[in-house]
């Protein structure tokens, strides 16, 4: 599942697309026909993200927001005319479109996008670009109350400037759950996934098995700041890399079970935490 920085990349991509004017909306797959009809010939007025949720507000007679959660199998694919900067792909399969240099698919001359595949839930076609959505966990039109209902169950997003560390700290200090569970629970903090959990807990020296309520305020503050910093880096670079020298490896502990810690040489461990494999160094993380 794409982590939060990828969804903010999508919001940035749709910000560029919004400059192209109205969009023709269709549902080649047929599972979003009514929703597409409601958005057809409308303009995106505000694209934004919160955690792993993408929201596209459209200028239509009845105010509507397109809400998309990609889940494990969803993806957006883009085709664009010359001079338009868009990611080629964001979403499943894992890591697709998450490599340096794999950024834009341009068409020189007259823009003629390829026809949509049969699994495309929603196609948004602009004058010189196309965005195709396939396999999302959620694709729905919401009114203001519907959007607020989703936000009410989400924690603060490190990539949203208005969100504060104090909100995250207050939530974490009130639970008996392990910090490794808390970082993956979107109701505590929205956006981080398994990679950022493993890497930022390592960078902050926190064992994923430590009870969240017993992690000091100072360390929780440091964790929030590191998550924000690393996710901003991922947003800018288009991939996750938490080490200082990518040529020596992009990750400190993620998927390095049984290998020596890059910092101290101890053997990196692995276990299931919150249903996902967690990686940590028993010496560096306390």
Tell me the catalytic residues: 2-3, 52, 276
- Residue 23: asked if its preceding bond is cis (omega within 30°), the reply is no
Pairing outcome for strands 53-59 and 64-69: antiparallel
Q: Which neighbouring-strand residues pair with 142?
A: 65
**Coil, strand or helix at 104:** coil
Helix residue spans in the chain (DSSP H):
4-18, 33-39, 144-152, 165-172, 179-182, 194-203, 217-237
Helix, strand, or coil here: 178? strand
* d(C-alpha 163, C-alpha 10), whole Å: 20
- Which CA distances in Å does 194 have to 3, 241, 273? 8, 13, 10
- Rounded-to-integer distance, Cα 41 and Cα 21, Å: 9
Residue with tokens 């020296």: 205
Provide the Cα torsion 90, 96, 101, 104; round to 10°. Answer: -40
Which of 237, 210, 211, 247 is CA-nearest to residue 8?
237
- The C-alpha angle with vertex 27 and arms to 23 and 28, in degrees rounded to 5, equals 120
Is the C-alpha dihedral spanning 197, 198, 204, 208 positive or negative? positive
């Amino acid at each position: 599942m794409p982590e939060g920085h990828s969804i903010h990349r999508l919001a940035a991509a749709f910000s560029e697309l919004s400059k192209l004017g109205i969009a023709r909306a269709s549902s080649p797959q047929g599972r979003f026909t009514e929703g597409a009809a409601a958005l057809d010939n409308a303009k995106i007025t505000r694209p934004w993200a919160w955690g792993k949720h993408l929201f596209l507000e459209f200028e239509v007679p009845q105010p509507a927001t397109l809400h998309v959660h990609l889940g494990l199998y969803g993806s957006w694919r883009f085709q664009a005319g010359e001079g338009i900067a868009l990611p080629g792909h964001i979403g499943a399969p894992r890591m697709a479109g998450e490599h340096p240099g794999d950024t834009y698919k341009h068409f020189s001359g007259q823009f003629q996008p390829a026809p949509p595949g049969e699994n495309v839930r929603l196609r948004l076609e602009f004058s010189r670009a196309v965005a195709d959505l396939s396999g999302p966990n959620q694709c729905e039109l919401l009114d203001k109350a519907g959007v607020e209902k989703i936000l009410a169950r989400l924690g603060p997003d490190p990539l949203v400037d208005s969100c504060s560390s104090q909100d995250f700290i207050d939530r974490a200090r009130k639970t008996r759950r392990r910090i490794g569970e808390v970082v993956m629970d979107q109701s505590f903090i929205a956006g981080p996934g398994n990679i950022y959990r493993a890497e930022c807990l390592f960078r902050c020296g926190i064992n994923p098995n430590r009870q969240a309520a017993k992690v000091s305020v100072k360390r929780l503050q440091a964790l929030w700041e590191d998550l924000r910093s690393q996710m901003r880096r991922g947003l800018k670079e288009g991939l996750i890399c938490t080490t200082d020298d990518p040529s020596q490896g992009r990750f400190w502990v993620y998927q390095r079970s049984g290998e020596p810690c890059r910092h101290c040489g101890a053997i990196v461990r692995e276990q299931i935490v919150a249903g996902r494999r967690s990686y940590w160094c028993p010496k560096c993380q306390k």
